[in-house]
Amino acid sequence: MPQFLVKSFKPRWPVRSAGLNFALAYGSVFVLSAGLFLSFIWWNTTGQIERRVEVAVQVDAHDLAQRAQRGGMAGLVRAIQDRLDHNVEDDALYLLVGPTGRRYAGNLPGWPTAVSGTDHFYELAIQRDSFRTRAKMHAYILPGGCGLIVGRDIHGRELVRHVLMDTLIWAWIMVSLLAAGGALVMRGIFRQVVGSIARTTAAVARGDLSRRMPLTGNETDSISQTVNEMLERIDRLMDGVRQVSNAIAHDLRTPITRARARLEEASVTATSEQALRSAVDRAVVDLDHVTSIFEALLRIAQLEAGTRRAAFTDLEVPPLLEGLAELYEASAEEASLRLKLRVDAVRPVHGDRHLLQQALANLLDNAIKFAPSGTDVVMHAGMVGNDVFIAVMDAGPGMSPDDMARASERFFRAEAARHTPGSGLGLSLVQAVVALHNGRMVLQDRKPGLGVTLYIPSLGGELVREGSIV
């Protein structure tokens, strides 16, 4: 046969089908477990029957031996005959022979040639009257050289074994059929889950980020919920990327356009070197603002990626806040504000001093920028459980609940801050710093004013008490 025909007729079995493999594994385990269980039932039941026959023979033989001791040979013969007369089930087997082989009592025609020892049971076929049957027997040597065989006809036991075997085989067949049906059901469930995931992810791949997996009310809902949460996060991230892209385009367009216009105007209208330098300086200021925005975005990205933990060390909170208070005291006085610092008993924290200073500096800048003249800007530190909290509070216009919910978004600016200088990245940077320290940021409307509280996990150790600085 030509080689291309051989290749074209190669069967393609779904050996890589996860659903089929899962169904086969489920069915195999189910059938194997059922087989082992039914085998144990068969082995235990037949073993119990065997042991009951052996115990009955041994007890019977012991009783006959005692009768022989009390009544001699004649008493033993009478006992055997009495047992045969009262054996309703007709399964008892006896044979008593003398030292010379003479038969004295019993229902066996003669001493079986296969019975040559007295140390174990024998199971063999015997002739009884007009039929052959199977028997289990044990031989004993009595005082005086007489031989005694005590046994049981096990034909009934064989029937029970065969019935039990047939029953278990049919039970195993039924279990196998149930296992096959269960495997098909499990395969269907598996394919349904995988198919739902495939359809949802395919829709997402085509750009439909609103698609979600349906919940069916069973155990597969945990997978659906996990996938839906992942898609929700992807949707939020994509929405954030779109918002950031729009915000970058909007916020960068103004300073770049202004710088270009000033340079273009200077190149046309400037009549002296001083006027040209002035235009260039103003354009540089606009471009520096653009550079600062990109630097802030880069810092936020680095913080969110967790790549700035190399400088983490154990920090005392009071000296950090005192340094910031001294640094911003002059700025607060220029804005006719009173900067107040209050530090309660606090534990050290594990973090980056420079990043924490930068985050708190952003909060102080915002507070000083928006607080009315003659009011207080308060920086307060203390303990809440195992967290150190650092709050910066002002008496400015505050923020609405909707604005506070979006305050940490990049380039977001509340309505009250629309006409003030800034890029809308300050609280985003603070949020990134706090997240890097495994903490959280909480905003609170103080009516009037806004309070921003940072919660950072503390280290163990003694509390350090510091006073208030006004």
CB contact at 8 A, 79 and 61 = no
Read off the pLDDT of residues 94-146 as tens digits, 9 standing for 90 and up: 888 888 888 888 888 788 888 888 888 888 888 776 777 888 888 888 887 88
Q: Which amino acid is at 126?
A: I
Return the bridge partners of 137, or none. 122, 151
pLDDT in tens, 436-467: 888 888 888 888 888 899 999 988 655 555 55
> Which residue did the predictor score with more confidence, 250 or 89?
89
Could you tell me if 317 and 390 are in contact, meaning their C-beta atoms sit under 8 angstroms apart?
A: yes
pLDDT band at 308 (very low <50, low <70, confident <90, very high): low
| Residues near 183 by beta carbon (within 8 Å), at least 6 away in sequence | 23, 24, 26, 27, 30
Residue 389 pLDDT > 60? yes
pTM attached to this predicted model = 0.45
Q: CA end-to-end span of the chain, whole Å? A: 99
Nearest partner of 140 among 150, 152, 131, 132, judged by Cα: 150
Amino acid at 467: G
Mean pLDDT of 318-330: 89
CA atoms of 342 and 322, how far apart (whole Å): 10
Confidence of residue 8 (pLDDT cuts 50, 70, 90): very low
| Range of lowest pLDDT (132-146, 247-261, 427-441) | 247-261
SS3 track for the chain: CCHHHHHHCCCCCCCCCHHHHHHHHHHHHHHHHHHHHHHHHHHHHHHHHHHHHHHHHHHHHHHHHHHHHHHHHHHHHHHHHHHHHCCCCCCEEEEEECCCCCEEEECCCCCCCCCCCCCCCEEEEEEECCEEEEEEEEEEECCCCCEEEEEEECHHHHHHHHHHHHHHHHHHHHHHHHHHHHHHHHHHHHHHHHHHHHHHHHHHHCCCCCCCCCCCCCCCHHHHHHHHHHHHHHHHHHHHHHHHHHHHHHHHHHHHHHHHHHHHHHHHHCCCHHHHHHHHHHHHHHHHHHHHHHHHHHHHHHHHHCCCCCCCEEECHHHHHHHHHHHHHHHHHHCCCEEEEEECCECCEEECHHHHHHHHHHHHHHHHHHCCCCCEEEEEEEEECCEEEEEEECCCCCCCHHHHHCCCCCCCCCHHHCCCCCCCCHHHHHHHHHHHCCCEEEEEECCCCEEEEEEEEECCCCCECCCEEC
The whole-number pLDDT of residue 419 equals 47
378/469 Cα distance (integer angstroms): 10
- Burial zone of 94 (CB within 10 Å; 0-12 exposed, 13-18 middle, 19+ buried): buried
According to the model, what pLDDT value does residue 409 have?
65
Q: Inter-axis angle of helices 353-370 and 317-334, to 10 degrees?
A: 30
Q: Which two tokens stand for residue 285?
A: 């200021």
pLDDT bucket at 77, cuts 50 / 70 / 90: confident
CA of 56: how far to CAs of 49, 62, 391, in Å? 11, 10, 90
